[in-house]
Amino acid sequence: AGGWLQDLVMQQRSEEKEMKFNKKRLRVISDAEKMKPGSEGVLYWMSRDQRVQDNWALIRAQKLAVKEDLPLHICFCLSAPKSELSTLRHYGFMLKGLEEVAEECKALDIQFHLLHGSAGEVLPGFIADRSLGAVVTDFSPLKEPLQWLEDVKKALPNHIPLIQVDAHNVVPCWVASPKLEYSARTIRGKITNHLPEFLTDLPLVEKHPHTATRTAKPIDWDKTLASLQIDRAVSEPQWATPGTKGGMAMLESFIDVRLKLFGSQRNDPNANALSNLSPWIRFGHLSAQRVALQVQRNGKHASQSVPPFIEELVVRRELTDNYCFYNKKYGSLEGAYEWAQKTLRDHANDERPFLYTRQQLEEAQTHDKLWNAAQYQMVSEGKMHGFLRMYWAKKILEWMSSPEEALSTALYLNDRYSLDGQDPNGFVGCMWSICGIHDQGWAERAVFGKIRYMNYKGCTRKFDVPRFERKFCPK
């Protein structure tokens, strides 16, 4: 995609070469803070932010390497897929994005390595073998990547600094707030007060001035994808082209066509008003900061849509990292507020109007055509409309035998079929709907207790429900 937006961004980036790196974006994980002399390179261990440009972790790693006159390497550790959530949909999107990263690296004289195994197992040996002197990595608040970080920290020799940069959030998670926030209301001011400091231009990652003597092995991407033990029945959707270029093209079409509808029609599942950017943001193919900058700069024709879009992209999204970072019980009912746990317990034995199993839900075999249509949309397209995601999850609470089962089923379905799944947004989205995270108590009713309720009739007041059902529900 060589669209106008990409040209403009490249031009801006080259003008922004001298932009400073704000050190609040990083935290030093190791005891060692400074690199020792005598090493042969700097490593960016890429994990959540799978892109070259607009990546504060890579910007930091390159700066360090340039300062020490050293070559620059990037590693991605591909650990063995291990659950029913590992599908062709996710791995295909990820590996194609990484292939684009590897190509860009070649042009920039940065060595890109695809390592097979979990980071704790494979990185330390790689670092020792190449005599690398410092490791920079990106940030995720989720348990598994935090465990990888811990494993690498333990296995690295004491003298090698391990530095983590929050390259995903506009305002670094630890700067936005040092504690678990109660709701969007309590974090909004904290984030927006920091925007003048952090919502800045990003400097260009440039052709690296020091070539490595040992270059990276070539990667057979098709063979890599073919060798993985993944569920190939969950296929790759055609509408979403993986990688940064595909994401930039989607951003461009959003600004040109859909942004003007976002302000007024974002809750209408029949309208084409959303950005559709969540898969690229989830895999780090696109930087949310770049998206925010471009929408602010080029969205003047749709000025009423810009503030609500920034609210979703920055405030709501960064609130989910805050939740997962500071609440280790995310993903389980115990991670909900006390009032919500109590009300759900109080109503655990209420009679359910309908009772479905996970399999019936997965196969969209309910009495509710709207719910079935939303489930079909997610299974076939890899993305359910944002408004329906709330309705969909709340009905799972209503129709399963316990709130625990409802939450685990919603997470399973969301994370298996949504291309943007397995992300803090998914944990919080499901927990908002089912156990009131970041919400307040509402009038008490059966099954839901004080959890906010949604029903079919309410949907018919908001949008043309039969039209959506006809589109996605074959029966």
Contacts to ligand FAD by CB under 6 A? 266, 274-278, 281-282, 312-313, 316-317, 320, 386, 389-390, 393, 414, 418, 420-421, 423, 425-426, 429-430, 432-433
CB of 213 to ligand FAD, least distance (A): 41
Check if the beta carbon of residue 428 is closer than 8 Å to that of residue 173: no
* Bridge partners for 132 per DSSP: 41
Complex with ligand FAD: residue 90 or 389, whichever CB lies closer: 389
Measured from the CB atom, the residue of 42 and 94 that comes closer to ligand FAD is 94
CA distance 474 to 413: 20
Q: Following CA atoms 288, 289, 290, 291 in sequence, which dihedral angle do they give, to the nearest 10 degrees?
A: 50
Q: Least distance in Å: CB of 371 to ligand FAD?
A: 13
- Yes or no: say if 295 and 255 are a contact pair by the CB < 8 Å rule: yes
Give the residue ranges of DSSP H helices in 199-287.
221-227, 244-253, 259-265, 278-282
- To the nearest whole angstrom, how small is the minimum distance from the Cβ of residue 285 to ligand FAD? 12
Taking the complex as a whole, the smallest distance from the CB of residue 214 to ligand FAD amounts, in Å, to: 38
Determine contact, residues 468/371, Cβ cutoff 8 Å. Answer: no
Nearest residue by C-beta to ligand FAD? 429
> Closest distance between ligand FAD and the C-beta of residue 220, in Å?
31
Q: Residue 367 is encoded by which pair of tokens?
A: 């009495």
Question: Looking at beta carbons only, is 266 or 285 nearer to ligand FAD?
Answer: 266
Give the β-pairing of 72-78 and 41-46. Answer: parallel
CA-nearest of 402, 460, 469, 391 to 430 is 391
Give the position of tokens 């115990």: 334
Buried b (16+ CB within 10 A) or exposed e, 118-131: bbbbbbbebbeebe
Whose Cβ is closer to ligand FAD: residue 64's or residue 255's?
255
Q: What is the CA 168 to chain-centroid distance, rounded?
A: 8
**CA–CA gap between residue 264 and residue 260 (Å, rounded):** 8
Nearer Cβ to ligand FAD (64/281): 281
What is the rounded distance in angstroms from the CA atom of residue 291 to the CA atom of residue 313? 8
User: Minimum Å distance from CB 308 to ligand FAD?
Assistant: 9
Give 114 or 310: the residue with its C-beta nearer to ligand FAD.
310
Nearer residue to ligand FAD within complex by CB, 111 or 276 = 276
Q: How far is the CB of 282 from ligand FAD (least distance, A)?
A: 5
